[in-house]
Structure 1
Amino acid sequence: MIHPEDRSLRERIFARDEYRCVYCGLPFPGEQLSLDHVQPRMRGGDNSEGNLVTACHACNTRKGSLPAWAFLAELPDERANFLRYATAVWPRHIRAIREAVKV
């Protein structure tokens, strides 16, 4: 069950990201989206809006528990989409992605 505060956070992130998966770049209806932690919680990430992005279920499953920079290191199309659409994430995450591939 989703806590009411979590639903509000989900809706804010989805709206901020225009209901678009930041990895594949495609728009989806809300029921086909999930929140993704750029830095996974199991790796020290938190639930702040600067660490959360909108992801479709397929991309979120592919990313799994990897940090975004590890997931995107060998995926130039997905990396370009992330850098284009994930504009509200913490600057340190953007730097880590760029440094992982020397972009």
Structure 2
Amino acid sequence: MSDSLVLNRVWYPIHITGWERAISLLYLGHAVAVDPEDGRTYNFEDWASLSKMKLEIERLPEKKFVRSMRITVMIPEVITLLLFDKLPPTEVKMSRKTIFERDNFTCAYCGKKFPPKKLTWDHIVPLARGGKREWLNIVTACQNCNIRKGGCTPEEAKMKILYKPTVPKWKNHLGWRLGMEVKVKESWQQFLDRVYWNAELEP
């Protein structure tokens, strides 16, 4: 089906969710649907009425709708939570998932992309050699390259690091998820631009 961009109460993008969750939040009254064209918001009943009109008059593609025995509802591309006004944390928690996403699932040593199950992380300077478990000392590595490097530094193993590790911020983290897991909708851009223009500049 499709995904929906989730905004907090002050219209700041905080998450991307599947259509099932988006419609559930709308139905329960925890969120309202946003029409990206004019910024109007709709509760579930009003959204259902608008959906009927869009289907019958504008004849939008069937894939944009969800049907049940009683009702047909258009999948909202953007929803706004009615109670949540917090911003996500600016720091991204380090995990296998976020490291792989940061590095675009690409081995730092051979430059090839792999599925997550064939990847691991590598300490550039091994822990046993005084290296730290921090973003700038960790890169994604395929299993073969990780075995080849072993407990050596890249220089000792004669292996070149093909990209420089970075410390990700939340705004980048949202970008990874948009770029890798879902297709960015044109209707989202005005809200995503807000993240860009309001983000603090790096020192």
State TM-score, norm by structure 2.
0.34
User: Does 2:156 align with 1:70?
Assistant: yes
Larger Rg: 2
Match of 1:28 among 105, 109, 114: 114
2:167 is the alignment partner of 1:86: no
Q: How is 1:50-61 mapped onto 2 (pairs within 5 angstroms)? A: 50-61=136-147
- 1:60-84 deviation per Cα after TM superposition (whole angstroms, max 9, x unaligned): 0000000122223xxxxx52xx2x4
Unaligned runs of 5+ in 1: 1-6, 73-77, 90-103
Q: Which has the higher strand share?
A: 2
CA drift of 1:87 comes to 4.0
Q: Which has the higher contact order (CA 8 A, sep 6+)?
A: 1
Gap regions ≥5 residues in structure 2: 1-92, 168-203
Identity value in percent: 40
Cα offset for 1:29? 0.3
Q: Which has the higher helix share?
A: 1
1:17 pairs with one of 75, 86, 103: 103
Partners of 2:122 and 2:146 within 8 A in 1:
yes
* C-alpha contact 2:126 2:153 (8 A) present in aligned 1: yes
Q: Of residues 112, 121, 131 in structure 2, which corresponds to 1:45? A: 131
Aligned length: 75
**Aligned-partner Cα distance in 2 for 1:27–1:50:** 20
